[in-house]
Amino acid sequence: MMNVKSVTQLTAALSVALAIAGCKEEAPSSAPAAKPPSVPVAEVIVRPVTPFVEFTGSMTAVQRVELRPRVAGYIQDVSVPEGRFVEKGHKLFLIDPRVAQAALTAATARLREAEAASLLAQAEHARAEQLFAQKIVARDRLDTATAALTTRKAQVDAANAAVDAAQLDLSFTHVTAPISGRVGQALVTEGNYVASGVTPLTTIVSIHPLHVYFDVDERTYLRSLATGRSNATPQGAQAAKVMVALLTDQTYSRPGRVDFIANTSDRGTGTVRIRAVVDNPDGHLTPGLFAKVKLETGAPQARVLISDQSIGTDQGSRYVLVVGKDDKTEYRLVELGPVVDGLRVIEKGLEPSERIVVKGLVGPGMQITPQPAAIDGSPLVPKTLGAQP
């Protein structure tokens, strides 16, 4: 058991401790209140945006030629620049021309023979006319001379045609590019025999411009394309515009126009085949590639755009944090549209001039200190006098 002296000392110590605690409770607090977190905030962008729908299509050449020989013979020379661009008329193959040259020489000789026979027939016809006029010969002699002259003239015409055909055959031994475009692989080599119109030699495809084929759903067709092909539409009416990009491109940089709409709809897929024309002066595009197609479906309209990094996900819904006048965040559901030039179109949920939280660990209903920033989150640095833009 504790003695009286120990109890007295313990009571005194407790009294001192309670007095000190009471003094601390009564002392006023001098610590400053915590400052709201600094968060990047930007005003939404309002910009005219042309409504569009995206599709996937494929590119094809406007012109494609599978080159075959027009005359038979042995290949004497191959000068195909495989995989490169060739102009119309560029020499690609040479078929042994000696047979065609001999045929041309023979046809020319037959022409001279026919012309000589025709001259003799003309002279005989002239004499027969004189003798008949003098009543020295009968009428049948003049008729015979007239028929012979007509026959000889026909033989001259036939000989001329044979010479022309032989000249064509000789020219066909020089196989040239019938169109300008990119030539493919040479399918025959020197020394091989080729049959007229049978043996494939190579292929050539045009590369400027190109066709882009894609399938449009019925809703898009009825809303944006059907009115442009009615019977009352003028012949020179403006075609629907498209923008084309490769599958690896980030933006659409190649403009085009619709120049063909199929006359029937595919009942199996519920789509309509569309063809657009896109320029390819640099030759970067090539037939056979897949392409992304952006079809314009209306006139430009003012739309609200923000960065995707400002959009949050809540159980499948999309939302943003709107900053009110009192710098307090507000939870706002939004309906997303397409991406235009790297920014997301907001169909519903935001109004022009509203401010949103660009990024940061912030929740709804929080008080913040707005930090001016661009819509992509980069800080806005004010320009100083004399600074270069």
At 11, is the pLDDT very low, low, confident or very high (cuts 50, 70, 90)? Answer: very low
Residues recorded for the chain: 389
Does the domain at residues 39-49+301-372 carry the CATH identifier 2.40.420.20? Answer: yes
Lowest model confidence (mean pLDDT) among 85-99, 221-235, 246-260, 309-323: 221-235
Strand, helix or coil for residue 77: strand
Mean of all residue pLDDT scores within the chain: 85
Structure confidence by residue, pLDDT tens digits, 46-67:
999 888 888 999 999 999 999 9
Question: 0.95 exceeded by the pTM?
Answer: no
Q: Quick one: average pLDDT of 139-163? A: 94
Lowest model confidence (mean pLDDT) among 161-165, 338-342, 382-386: 382-386
* % of the chain at pLDDT higher than 70: 85
| Domain edges within the chain | 39-49+301-372, 97-172, 206-296
Q: Please tell me the distance from the alpha carbon of residue 352 to that of residue 47, in angstroms, as a whole number.
A: 10
* % of the chain at pLDDT higher than 90: 58
Contact 287, 205 (CB under 8 A): yes
- What does 293-306 look like in DSSP terms, one character per residue? EEEE-S--EEEEEE
Q: Both tokens of residue 347?
A: 């169909």
Lowest model confidence (mean pLDDT) among 46-55, 103-112, 146-155, 232-241: 232-241
Which CATH number among 1.10.287, 2.40.160, 1.10.3470, 1.20.120 corresponds to the domain 97-172?
Answer: 1.10.287
β partners of residue 94: 77, 174
Strand, helix or coil for residue 1: coil
Lowest model confidence (mean pLDDT) among 23-32, 280-289, 327-336: 23-32
Backbone angles phi, psi at 336, to 5 degrees: -85, 145
What pLDDT was estimated at residue 197?
Answer: 93
For the domain made up of 206-296, the CATH class stated in words is: mainly beta
- How many other C-beta atoms lie within 10 A of the C-beta of residue 175? 24
